[in-house]
């Protein structure tokens, strides 16, 4: 798709933009010139960026439509909250940063396990069927979370499925979710998680495993006949994406005072899907930008919130019409070829023509 030099430039731009955005926001925070609403959005933005990148790994790189991504986020969020509360109440770990890191790792592992359990049956399906089943699994996770009660007594965890009258301090209270969560997520932690995600995903794409995943996306039968184990690599992409979503969930959950399972409904999965589609399927930098914009914009434009769905519908229709118009498409292709040619230092047209033998 891109030349080696082009790939390097793309990666550098991605990391550069994210770092620059972080530095700008950080200096604004320090000088106190950032509005309160935006300040509150910083950590969620990081979490949604990670969500968008990780979903892009499944949709853009692995080529499977998954509609249950919020489910993994929810698993990660509640695991993170439980682990953080357990460490604080059971082991008196006062260090916030340490607790946050352990909580994120735990959230990632739990979501990864959920990813394996869901992936085994789901990845046997293709296309629409896979989308429908992942959607169902997302809902199942939410409903399971609705009836989980966890408390910590001494240094041991108590788990119940019916009765909230557990001994000790209650951490998860079924449909009421987690209450009185210590907010230990910081913007720096969010930024580091975004960088971690970018490193993992971009390095994966440019490695043997990543190429195998993309080969399966491009042509399953050809990939199989080249000796690529399709199940293994689909599973790899799916589980890795679940792990990253779980870590994002832990970051998100530990930024809230209260968190109910209903927060991770089906429409959150769709929201993340919108980030991915708007940013460009398979385009990691696009996911970062669209996740940022689409998280900030509704907050900034709160005054017009009643028109949001209306505008959404119009934008969707316009996008559909535009992308199916051959004239517009060819014009857009020419434009991107030109831009690409300028970046990589050669003309897009000659690259194509150079193949003639």
Partner 1 sequence: MSENSVKRHSTTKMVPVPSRSIVPERDLGRQPVLECHHLGIEFGGLKAVDDFNLTIGRTEIAGLIGPNGAGKTTVFNLITKVYQPTTGTVMINGRDTSGMNIVQASKLGIARTFQNIRLFSNMTVEENVRIGLHNQIRYGMFTGICRLPAYWTKEKKQHQRSLELLSLFGMQDMADVQAGSLPYGAQRRLEIVRALATNPSLLLLDEPAAGMNPHETEELMETIIRIRDQFQIAVMLIEHDMSLVMGICEGICVLNYGRVIAKGTADEIQQNPVVIEAYLGRRKEADA
- Smallest distance, Å, CB 57 to partner 1? 12
Q: Which of residues 224-253 bind partner 1 (CB under 8 A)?
A: 224-230, 236
> x/- string (CB under 8 A) for partner 1, residues 197-226?
--xx--xx-xxxxxxx-xx-xxx-xxxxxx
Shortest Å, Cβ 84 to partner 1: 26
Residue 179 lies near partner 1 (rule: CB under 8 A):
no
DSSP string for residues in 75-115? HHHHHHHHHHHHHHHHH----HHHHHHHHHHHHHHHHHHHH
Q: Which residues have a Cβ under 8 Å from the Cβ of 214 and sit 6 or more positions away?
A: 61, 205
Shortest Å distance, C-beta 351 to partner 1: 6
Comparison of 124 and 302: residue with beta carbon closer to partner 1: 124
Query: In the complex, what is the shortest distance from the CB of residue 282 to partner 1, in angstroms, rounded to a whole number?
Result: 8
If one asks whether residue 352 binds partner 1 (CB under 8 A), the answer comes out as yes
CA-based end-to-end distance of the chain: 20
Q: Give 176 or 209: the residue with its C-beta nearer to partner 1.
A: 209
Task: Write out the binding residues for partner 1, residues 2-31 only, by CB under 8 A.
Answer: 2-4
Which letter does DSSP use for residue 315 in this model?
A: H
Q: Show the CA angle centred on residue 108, arms to residues 135 and 270, nearest 5°.
A: 30
E strand map for the chain: 149-153, 156-160, 169-173
CA atoms of 220 and 223, how far apart (whole Å): 5
Choosing from 92, 162, 163, 354, the residue that interacts with partner 1 (CB under 8 A) is: 354
In the complex, the smallest distance separating the C-beta of residue 218 from partner 1, rounded to whole angstroms, is 4
CB closer to partner 1, 11 vs 84: 11
Min separation Cβ 171 and partner 1, Å: 33
Judged by CB, which is closer to partner 1: 187, or 196?
Answer: 196
CB closer to partner 1, 143 vs 207 = 207
Q: Rounded to an integer, what distance in angstroms lies between the CA atom of residue 172 and that of residue 150?
A: 5
* Cα–Cα dist 352/357, whole Å: 12
* Nearest CB to partner 1, comparing residues 63 and 249: 63
- Contact segment (CB under 8 A) with partner 1 among 1-9, 79-87, 118-126, 129-137 equals 1-9
Segment 93 to 132, residues that bind partner 1, using CB under 8 A: none
HEC-encoded secondary structure of 190-254: HHHHHHHHHHHHHHHHCCHHHHHHHHHHHCHHHHHHCCCCHHHHHHHHHHHHHHHHHHHHHHHHC
> Which residue number, 206 or 334, has a Cβ lying nearer to partner 1?
206
Exposure b/e, 87-117, CB count within 10 A at least 16 = b = bbbbeeeeebeebbebbbbbbbbbbbbbbee
Q: Which residues bind partner 1 (CB under 8 A)?
A: 1-4, 199-200, 203-204, 206-212, 214-215, 217-219, 221-230, 236, 351-352, 354-357
């Amino acid at each position: 798709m891109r030349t080696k030099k082009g790939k390097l430039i793309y990666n550098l731009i991605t990391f550069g933009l994210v770092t620059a955005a972080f530095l700008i926001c950080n200096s604004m925070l320090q000088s106190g010139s950032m509005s309160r609403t935006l300040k509150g959005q910083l950590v969620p933005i990081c979490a949604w960026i990670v969500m968008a990148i990780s979903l892009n790994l499944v949709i853009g790189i692995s080529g499977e439509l998954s509609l249950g991504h919020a489910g993994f986020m929810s698993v990660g969020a509640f695991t993170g909250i439980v682990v953080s509360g357990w460490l604080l109440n059971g082991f008196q770990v006062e260090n916030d940063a340490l607790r946050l890191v352990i909580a994120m790792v735990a959230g990632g592992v739990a979501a990864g396990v959920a990813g394996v359990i869901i992936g085994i049956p789901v990845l046997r399906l293709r296309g629409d069927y896979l989308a429908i089943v992942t959607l169902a699994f997302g809902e199942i996770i939410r409903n399971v979370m609705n009836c989980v009660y966890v408390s910590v007594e001494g240094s041991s965890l108590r788990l119940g499925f019916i009765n909230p009258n557990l001994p000790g301090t209650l951490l998860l209270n079924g449909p009421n979710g987690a209450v009185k969560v210590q907010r230990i997520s910081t913007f720096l932690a969010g930024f580091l998680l975004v960088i971690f995600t970018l490193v993992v995903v971009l390095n994966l794409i440019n490695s043997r495993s990543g190429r195998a995943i993309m080969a399966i996306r491009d042509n399953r039968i050809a990939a199989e006949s080249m000796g690529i184990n399709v199940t293994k690599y689909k599973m790899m992409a799916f589980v890795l994406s679940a792990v990253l979503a779980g870590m994002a969930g832990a970051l998100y959950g530990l930024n809230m005072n209260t968190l109910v399972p209903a927060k991770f409904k089906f429409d959150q999965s769709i929201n993340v899907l919108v980030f991915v589609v708007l940013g460009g399927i398979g385009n990691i930098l696009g996911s970062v930008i669209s996740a940022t914009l689409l998280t900030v914009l509704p907050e900034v434009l709160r005054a017009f919130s009643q028109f949001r769905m209306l505008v959404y519908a119009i934008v969707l229709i316009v996008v559909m019409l535009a992308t199916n118009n051959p004239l517009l498409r060819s014009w857009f292709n020419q434009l991107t070829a030109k831009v690409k040619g300028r970046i990589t230092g050669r003309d897009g047209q000659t690259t194509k023509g150079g193949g003639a033998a």
